[in-house]
């Protein structure tokens, strides 16, 4: 009987990609995926440590998973991702019922580790980078794996087959003062150029219409091939021209590395969608400096102007942290002002939270929780107003969308525009996977309603 695997993923898209890769490798070793934890032989939790709250959630979740172990003592429980990397053996102390703890750089080893692991054997902890003696960048998985087309359970194209992620690089060298990622995911490592192209072709053969390239800082992608320096722009051009690809996206970009050739692609590469996620973090020059971001408000907004000149339809989203150590009321108001000035389409916003090992962790001038919450609430209220205003302006407009699947409301389908707006509409399920035109009929803060045009 095939063994069953249940995976829960927290955190970023890189984790989603990692989980999908793991599922794929496990399928090749004869496992099948289940959506029911109670029938699993192996439960794997892929975790995130970006903010304290995210990391704490994991411990609560592991406590809940323990109950499955009472019902099925041979169940193997494993933790991966950034909390696994950060906590290592400490996780075993807090959750002694775990059999496996594997950092994000060791994911590719799980299928073979699981072969020898039983619920009774001593737990295994692997972290850091795998042994890499010839010093070549180590991909997260072997791209030369026999990627059979039947690996993905897809009778119809499902959402991940239709709009898959593709990790092009791992790690980060930026060491922003608040961020734990460089400590957990290691130094920036670009995957080999032609492996990425190969993987993109496989994804397209399996029905992908839209591919999102992933990395902590995709702009600094570079790969040396026979003396030729291949960069992110070369990669976008190659993938963007693959036949049958309809849409290309990427995330995340650092504003400090944004060459004009990349700005130009938003105009010249037709598959590149009109949306960019460009983390600002703060609108105050003092705070940006303390964060070590390498740009100031003026150079950020100037980049936005250049992007909008090249592509007037470009939607922009961003990440904001409020309450960074030492953030004064004036610093905070400058962030508010920058939101008014740039008018992002949407934002992700967070209260600063201390992370181990980071520079900010040791900074003075920590802001009190209540004050951080006040700043966050006001900021989110302001952005809600801006987003809603933009969404209302779309009512009556015709928008091209990719139909992704059924919406939560029965009878409705959910779709995405090129500029990353979610639009639901009533339509037949045969439309899933196709590109159609909708007329926007209603607007809410996070989505729109439309009808077939
Ligand atoms: N506290 C709060 N938010 C953080 N982020 C990263 N580290 C922290 C932290 N210590 C946010 C940043 C980043 C996003 C992924 O998470 O805004 O862009
Ligand atoms: Fe979370 Fe960052 Fe790790 Fe992604 S890389 S899982 S966001 S800590």
Residues 323/353, Cβ–Cβ less than 8 Å:
no
Determine the average pLDDT of the residues in 347-373.
Answer: 97
The per-residue pLDDT for range 104-115, each reduced to its tens digit, is: 989 888 998 999
- Residue 106 Cβ inside 6 Å of ligand 2? The answer reads no
- Residue 324 Cβ inside 6 Å of ligand 1? The answer reads no
pLDDT at 322 over 90: yes
- Residue 181 Cβ inside 6 Å of ligand 2? The answer reads yes
Determine the average pLDDT of the residues in 381-392.
Answer: 98
Instruction: Locate the DSSP E strands across 134-256.
Output: 165-167, 169-170, 189-190, 210-214, 222-225, 228-231, 247-251
The per-residue pLDDT for range 235-254, each reduced to its tens digit, is: 999 999 999 999 999 999 99
pLDDT value at residue 253: 95
Burial class (CB in 10 A: 0-12, 13-18, 19+), 370: exposed
Which residue of 45, 46, 48 sits with most ligand 2 atoms within 8 Å of its CB, as the best mutation to test the pocket? Answer: 48
Instruction: Locate the DSSP E strands across 48-119.
Output: 76-80, 100-102
- Residue 16 Cβ inside 6 Å of ligand 2? The answer reads no
Top-confidence residue, 60 or 427: 427
Distance from the alpha carbon of residue 85 to the mean position of ligand 1, in angstroms = 18
**Residues of the chain above pLDDT 70, percent:** 93
Determine the average pLDDT of the residues in 121-143.
Answer: 60
- Element at 315 (helix H, strand E): strand 315-322
**Residues of the chain above pLDDT 90, percent:** 74
- Please state whether the predicted TM-score (pTM) of the whole model is above 0.85: yes
Question: Of 37, 32, 24, nearest to 1 (Cα)?
Answer: 32
pLDDT value at residue 320: 98
Distance from the alpha carbon of residue 277 to the mean position of ligand 2, in angstroms = 16
The per-residue pLDDT for range 218-238, each reduced to its tens digit, is: 999 999 999 999 999 999 999
Burial class (CB in 10 A: 0-12, 13-18, 19+), 132: exposed
CA atoms within 13 A on the CB side of 185: 29
pLDDT value at residue 173: 93
Distance from the alpha carbon of residue 104 to the mean position of ligand 2, in angstroms = 9
DSSP string, 110-144: HHHHHHH--TTSPPEEE-SPPP-TT-PPPPSS-TT
pLDDT value at residue 160: 67
The per-residue pLDDT for range 145-166, each reduced to its tens digit, is: 333 333 332 223 344 689 999 9
Top-confidence residue, 56 or 280: 280
pLDDT value at residue 374: 98
CA distance 404 to 298: 38
CA distance 411 to 421: 20
pLDDT at 133 over 90: no
Instruction: Place 128 in a pLDDT band, splitting at 50, 70 and 90.
Output: confident
Which residue of 50, 170, 353 sits with most ligand 2 atoms within 8 Å of its CB, as the best mutation to test the pocket? Answer: 50
Beta-carbon contacts of 131 under 8 Å, excluding residues fewer than 6 positions away, are none
With H, G, I as helix, E, B as strand and everything else as coil, classify residue 261. helix
- Residue 178 Cβ inside 6 Å of ligand 1? The answer reads yes
CA distance 264 to 306: 9
Q: Which ligand approaches the C-alpha of residue 214 most closely?
A: 2
- Residue 293 Cβ inside 6 Å of ligand 1? The answer reads no
Ligand 1 atom at minimum distance from 348 CA:
17
Burial class (CB in 10 A: 0-12, 13-18, 19+), 231: middle
Top-confidence residue, 53 or 306: 306
CA distance 79 to 228: 40
pLDDT value at residue 363: 98
Ligand 2 atom at minimum distance from 216 CA:
5
Instruction: Place 24 in a pLDDT band, splitting at 50, 70 and 90.
Output: confident
Atom 7 of ligand 2 has which residue's CA nearest to it?
12
Top-confidence residue, 132 or 376: 376
Distance from the alpha carbon of residue 407 to the mean position of ligand 2, in angstroms = 28
**Structure tokens given for 230:** 């291949």
- Residue 82 Cβ inside 6 Å of ligand 2? The answer reads yes
Determine the average pLDDT of the residues in 378-403.
Answer: 98
197-227 per-residue burial string, b: 16 or more CB within 10 A, e: under 16: eebbbbbbebbbbbbbbbbbbbbbbebeeee
pLDDT value at residue 134: 39
- Residue 50 Cβ inside 6 Å of ligand 2? The answer reads yes
CA distance 323 to 199: 41
Give CA angle at 271 (446, 406), nearest 5°.
Answer: 40
């Amino acid at each position: 009987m095939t063994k069953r695997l249940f995976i829960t993923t927290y955190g970023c898209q890189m984790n989603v990609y990692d989980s999908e890769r793991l599922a794929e490798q496990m399928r090749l070793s004869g496992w099948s995926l289940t959506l029911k934890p109670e029938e699993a032989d192996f439960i794997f939790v892929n975790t995130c440590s970006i903010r304290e709250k995210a990391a704490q959630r994991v411990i609560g979740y592991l406590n809940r998973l323990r109950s499955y172990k009472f019902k099925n003592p041979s169940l193997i429980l494993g933790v991966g991702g950034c909390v696994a990397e950060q906590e290592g053996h400490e996780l075993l102390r807090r959750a002694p019922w775990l059999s496996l703890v594997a950092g994000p750089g060791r994911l590719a080893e799980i299928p073979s580790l699981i072969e020898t692991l039983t619920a009774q054997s001593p737990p295994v902890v692997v972290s850091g980078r795998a042994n890499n003696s010839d010093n070549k960048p180590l991909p997260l998985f072997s791209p030369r794996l026999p990627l059979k087309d039947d690996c993905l359970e897809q009778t119809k194209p499902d959402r991940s087959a239709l709009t898959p992620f593709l990790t092009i690089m791992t790690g980060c060298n930026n060491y922003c003062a608040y961020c734990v990622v460089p400590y957990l995911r290691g130094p920036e490592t670009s995957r080999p150029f032609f492996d990425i192209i190969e993987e993109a072709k496989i994804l397209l053969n399996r029905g992908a219409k839209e591919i999102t390239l992933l990395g902590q800082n995709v702009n600094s992608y570079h790969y040396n091939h026979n003396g030729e320096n291949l960069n992110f722009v070369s990669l976008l051009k190659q993938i963007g021209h693959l036949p049958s690809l309809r849409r290309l996206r990427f995330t995340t970009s650092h504003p400090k590395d944004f060459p004009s050739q990349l700005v130009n692609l938003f105009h010249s590469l037709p598959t590149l969608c009109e949306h960019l996620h460009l983390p600002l973090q703060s609108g105050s020059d003092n705070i940006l400096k303390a964060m070590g971001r390498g740009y100031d408000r003026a150079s950020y907004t100037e980049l936005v102007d250049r992007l909008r000149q090249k592509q007037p339809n470009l939607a922009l989203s961003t990440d904001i942290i409020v309450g960074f150590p030492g953030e004064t009321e004036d610093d905070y108001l400058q962030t508010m002002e920058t939101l008014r000035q740039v008018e992002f389409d949407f934002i992700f916003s967070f209260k600063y939270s201390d992370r181990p090992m980071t520079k900010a962790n040791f900074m003075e001038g920590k802001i009190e929780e209540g004050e951080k919450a006040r700043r966050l609430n006001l900021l989110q209220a302001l952005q809600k107003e801006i987003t809603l205003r933009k969404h209302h302006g779309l009512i009556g407009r015709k928008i091209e969308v990719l139909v992704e699947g059924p919406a939560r409301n029965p009878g409705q389908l959910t779709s995405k525009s090129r500029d990353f707006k979610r639009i639901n509409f009533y339509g037949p399920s045969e439309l899933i996977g196709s590109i159609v035109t909708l007329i926007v009929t209603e607007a809410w803060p996070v989505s729109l309603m439309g009808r077939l045009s």
